[in-house]
Amino acid sequence: MRPFEANKIEFDPTALPLSLDVPLTRFNVTPYRRGAAYIEVPVQLGASVQLRLENGQPVPAGARIHEHGGTAPVGSDGMAYIEGTAGDNILQVEWDGGRCLTHVRLPAASSANQPDDGEQLICAAYP
């Protein structure tokens, strides 16, 4: 890198596991002479899951998952992509005529034990 100048740093997000969402892949770094540069890359964990009701039926397509201040849609056969933080994440799911709760545990980004794509989660009804 050239000192005292903006150096463009970029990495290929396709080289990362599918369970990681990295919104920023380009950075400008201006190091000092003979200095090092530190870049903190924001990473969001994610998983593809299949949401099932207690009776075994899939959560209806079009339902909305409320998680960490955001929402995500439920697709056909209860399939959804969720994002969260490492540890337990509570998901509230709502649709016309119903709602349910479930949780998913997302391991740390550095863990090799990422959730399987399509992991089935049972969504329990609540009043």
- The mean pLDDT of 8-22, rounded to a whole number, is 83
3-class SS of residue 15 = helix
CB atoms within 10 A of CB 43: 14
- Quote the domain boundaries for residue 118: 44-125
Please tell me whether residues 49 and 102 are part of one structural domain.
yes
For the chain, what is the mean pLDDT? 85
Contact 68, 83 (CB under 8 A): yes
Q: For position 62, which CATH number holds?
A: 2.60.40.2070
Q: How many domains does the chain have?
A: 2
Structure tokens at 79: 């399939």
The confidence score (pLDDT) of residue 59 equals: 95
Please tell me whether residues 92 and 56 are part of one structural domain.
yes
Fill in the amino acid letter for 8: K
Cα dihedral 121, 80, 115, 122, rounded to 10, equals 0
The confidence score (pLDDT) of residue 101 equals: 95
Fill in the amino acid letter for 34: R
State the pTM of this model.
0.68
Q: Is the pLDDT of residue 99 over 90?
A: yes
The confidence score (pLDDT) of residue 66 equals: 92
Please tell me whether residues 73 and 37 are part of one structural domain.
no
